[in-house]
Amino acid sequence: MTLTPARARLSAAELLALIRAPAVLLGANGELIDVNERLCQLVGASREDVQRVPERWLKLPSQSDGAGVMLPLRTADGQDRWFAWRPSHFDLAALNLSGVLWSGEDVTEEYLARQQREREGEQFRLAFEAAGVGMAWVDVRGRFLHVNPALCELTGYSADELLQMTAIALSHPEDRRLELPQIRSLLNHEIGRFTVEKRYIHKDGHTYWVQITVTRLAEGESGTLLLTQTESIQDRKNTEFALRESEDRLRRLLDNAADVIYRWRLEPEPAYEYVSPSALAVLGYAPEEWYQDPELGLRLCHPDDLSTLANWRQQALAPRTPLVVRMVRKDGQVVWTEHRLAPFFDERGNLAGFDAIVRDITESKQAEEERRQAALALELANLQLSEKVVELESRNQEVAALREMAELLQLCISAEEAHLVVSRFGPRLFSGTSGAVSILKVSRTTVDRVAGWGLRSPGEAVFGPNDCWSLRRGRPHLITDPTTGIICPHLQTGELIPSLCVPLVSQGEAFGVLTLVPKDDRPLPEAHVRLAASVAEQVALALANLALRELLRSQSIRDPLTDLYNRRFLEETLERELVRAARSGHPLSLLILDVDHFKRFNDDFGHDAGDALLRELATLLRTNVRGGDVACRFGGEEFVVLLPETSEETAAQRAEEIGRLVRELSFSHRGKALRAVTVSIGVASTASAGTSAQALLTAADSALYQAKRLGRDRVVTASARTSAS
């Protein structure tokens, strides 16, 4: 009987409802007829949604050959769940149904796990093939089951050649049984893997080192499988060999080094880890003694250098700065040592100790000391040379200044100029000092200061000759220590200071004294003491020359009997005063005096009395003329008085006064009173007589003779004489 479609669907729904697993009924052509509620629950959609768009949810074959298929079922959230679909054993034909009824079992976890294993297997295969180290599957007999290209490259054999060999065949004959104990432990499940280093023989015959890691894998159809990873460690071995050789060389170097080399560690307790044999030669202690006594280095340090060695931590952290200390050998000898410290640290970065090189630098220290002494000697010599150069330059300057001063002193025309020159050159010649030049008066009873310089007072300004020890002794008197030396009385003005007094002596005659005192309380420099003698000599010579020159000049312009100026001086002065009067417009007057009856006086009392009279008249004139007036002896018993800036009238009054004083003059000679004398005076002035010297003298002389003719003992002016004529 043929069922209607509605009846068929009902029957299909009833059939599907009987199946607990997700189920789907497909038509003969693969079209979807219906799905059960369980499938809708799994995909999260209604039956109508599934029937309307079945390709969104599932894909099943339309026919079945009786075998199951693995196909995904997509849920409403877009994820796939995998089901193992199998055709149902229901007889659909009996139900008047055509097609295939499929029921599914959710195997998503198993499927995904298998997929993951397959992917991992593929990844392992790819990694196995592409690995940079040699890899191989090996059975328990050591036969290669599968090898990667890296192993072929490492050994020099092709894959086919290796698959015909065992791993043992690649090993060096001496290393073939090297890993057998580990293999037994691996097969007995005592260990899961092991690593061994051994030598392989390359296909070309050369030997090289490899590191092999063997891992036991799960047992398969072929029994227990081993995975080997082989890599060349020849470079590392070469490095190790080189390092070992380097260590051996270093050990030989350390053991044969002349310097002491040691390592000292802090943890777990301070101790020497290594001390080179040279410690015995350098410090007298064998390495064993250092190992037994961790404090030996400190105990050997010289007591005066312990403070330096106490800083070893800071010095160790500053390896560029060596420690230089003295150490005491076992035999008691002291040696200089230089310690260079290099710190090392633990894994936490804390100072763990240091390596040190100790060098005996005794000889270099001695050489250094010799060089230092030589350098000091050279420096001292250079300093002395510099001082000599400075001293020489100073001496040259002093000589130049002294020469200049001497030249100026020789050009001085008066003592006052000489005093000024000395006061100017004193600070140049005696820098840093105060000084003075004091001159002995003609009376030789006092010494007066005439020149000085500096801020400190060089004693009293006026003192007696006996107040200066240099004048008493006739040689320099130097005081370097005022507390013990005998200080000149003229310097005892309060404070006691060093001093120097040098007498100014020339040709055996003392003219004065040169005095020097320092600006502070230090003794005078030796150069100043030496220079003072030369300066005193030059000043004394200049003063002696000036005195001699003054004496000669005085003799040339003075009358030896009366000590008044002579006629020569009058003529020079008159010419000068006439020029001055003409320039200033002031009058110049002149008096000529003549002693009345002087010949009779000589006849009556003798020439000695006449000379005495002339001297008395000279004294009278000197004491009764002004400072600017000039009194001269004109010749014989005649005197001339020159009166600058004086009119004829005033000059006549002065002449009258002089005449009166002469009349009143009384004197005696050899105890005998002499009679009074009178003078006749002629007066002339530039206003009346003219502006030439000859005219002025002639006018005054004519007036004098007029006074004589008028009876003597009177004053006649040139103008009055002219009026009378």
- The residues annotated with a catalytic role in the active site are 637
CA 377 from centre of chain: 25
Q: Where are the beta strands (DSSP E) in 66-188?
A: 69-74, 80-87, 100-106, 134-139, 144-147
Compute the distance between CA of residue 312 and CA of residue 351 in angstroms, rounded to an integer: 12
> Facing residues of 144 across strands?
138
Side chain identity at residue 443, one-letter code:
S
Residue 655's nearest CA partner among 671, 672, 669, 643 is 643
Buried b (16+ CB within 10 A) or exposed e, 521-548: eebbbeebbebbeebbbbbbbbbbebee
Three-point CA angle 624, 629, 632, nearest 5°:
85
Token digits for 367?
A: 């050489």
Terminal alpha carbon distance of the chain:
217
Token digits for 374?
A: 């030589």
Token digits for 635?
A: 């010749």
Helix (H) or strand (E) holding 155: helix 149-155
User: Which residues lie closer than 8 Å to 106 by C-beta, 6 or more apart?
Assistant: 22, 42, 81, 82, 83
Burial (CB count within 10 angstroms: exposed 0-12, middle 13-18, buried 19+), residue 182: middle
Residue 415's nearest CA partner among 537, 554, 543 is 543
Token digits for 450?
A: 């005439």
Q: Within a 13 Å sphere around the CA of 412, how many CA atoms are in the beta-carbon half?
A: 27
Compute the distance between CA of residue 452 and CA of residue 514 in angstroms, rounded to an integer: 10
Residue 81's nearest CA partner among 111, 40, 38 is 111
User: Which residues lie closer than 8 Å to 607 by C-beta, 6 or more apart?
Assistant: none
Token digits for 6?
A: 């509605």
Compute the distance between CA of residue 86 and CA of residue 102 in angstroms, rounded to an integer: 6
CB 96 within 8 A of CB 134: no
Side chain identity at residue 101, one-letter code:
L
SS (H, E, C) 355-405: EEEEEECHHHHHHHHHHHHHHHHHHHHHHHHHHHHHHHHHHHHHHHHHHHH
Q: At what angle do helices 362-411 and 526-557 cross, to 10 degrees?
A: 10
Q: How many CB atoms lie within 10 A of CB 592?
A: 25
Compute the distance between CA of residue 570 and CA of residue 693 in angstroms, rounded to an integer: 10
CB 354 within 8 A of CB 341: yes
Compute the distance between CA of residue 34 and CA of residue 39 in angstroms, rounded to an integer: 10
Residue for token pair 């003992």: 713
Q: How many CB atoms lie within 10 A of CB 622?
A: 13
CA 667 from centre of chain: 92
> Facing residues of 190 across strands?
none
H helices, E strands: number in the chain:
25, 28
Token digits for 533?
A: 């003698």
User: Which residues lie closer than 8 Å to 395 by C-beta, 6 or more apart?
Assistant: 527
Compute the distance between CA of residue 299 and CA of residue 289 in angstroms, rounded to an integer: 13
Compute the distance between CA of residue 383 and CA of residue 376 in angstroms, rounded to an integer: 10
Token digits for 403?
A: 């020469």
